[in-house]
Amino acid sequence: MNEESRLGADGLPEVTPDGFEGREALPGPVWDAKNLRAAPRTGRWVSLVPIAPQYMEFLYQLATNEENGHRWLLAGTVPPAELFQQNLWKGVLTQFVVVVRSSSAPIGVVVAYNAELNHGFGYLGADFAPNVQGIGIAIEAVELFVDYVFATYNLRKLYLEVPEYNLGSMAYGVGGILNEEGVLRGHTYYRGRYWDRHLLALYRDEFLSSRQTPQARRRSFSQRQHRDT
């Protein structure tokens, strides 16, 4: 046996450091653990908090209220509260309640669901109380959540399934950061007629390159919030 080697406790040869003389270390990044932090879940106006029992009544009312319940995944149906809670995590990758930082009051929910991690895509959903829909505080919440999802999971795009009657609320993003990949004709039934369902995609690379830093992008949403209030 080479004098530089000897058998270890497992019966395999142990190689002394001399056996590595003249060899270079394999190339690779050197990470500073102090600079690696969890993806932020707090913005200027809102925070994303884990779903907990105290939010169940709010989530149920949000999903079933007459004013905007038809816009959410239940599409206007009203299941029993117990069944709603049982199915809350069905097919869900991750989700958070959106709360106002100044008061901790819940105002919405954001969710990533039906993810196929092998293929690098999932679906994005969000629902907000009627008084905050379409303004900067809701946009900041979605922005914060998408940042979190792309930082935490190896996804290359997120799909949004948008019924035709909801498309107007997405007009600010269609043709910009949202890319329409398809239309399912007459796919959604609501209020006595069939509506098209639009399949919009948010691409990871485009989303991340749309600003230099998460802080800079959140500042732009804060400016929208100021204009909208």
pLDDT digits (tens, 9 = 90+) for 115-166: 999 999 999 999 899 888 767 888 899 999 999 999 999 999 999 988 777 7
CB 197 within 8 A of CB 183: yes
The residues, any chain, with a CB within 8 Å of residue 144's CB and separated by 6 or more, are 40, 41, 42, 43, 46, 48, 218
> CA–CA separation, 162 vs 104, rounded Å?
29
Integer CA distances (angstroms), 218 to 102, 143, 145, 153, 185, in order: 17, 8, 12, 21, 36
Question: What is the CATH T-level fold of the domain 41-228, as seen in this structure?
Answer: Aminopeptidase (3.40.630)
Domain ranges of the chain: 41-228
What digits encode the pLDDT tens for the residues 164-202? 777 766 555 444 678 889 898 987 787 788 888 889 999
**Greater confidence, 13 or 228?**
13
> CA–CA separation, 228 vs 139, rounded Å?
11
pLDDT at 8: 57
Q: Which two tokens stand for residue 157?
A: 């795009």
Residue 52 clears pLDDT 60, i.e. is over it: yes
| 93-109: average pLDDT | 96
Tell me what percent of the residues of the chain surpass a pLDDT of 70: 66
Q: Which two tokens stand for residue 209?
A: 């390159």
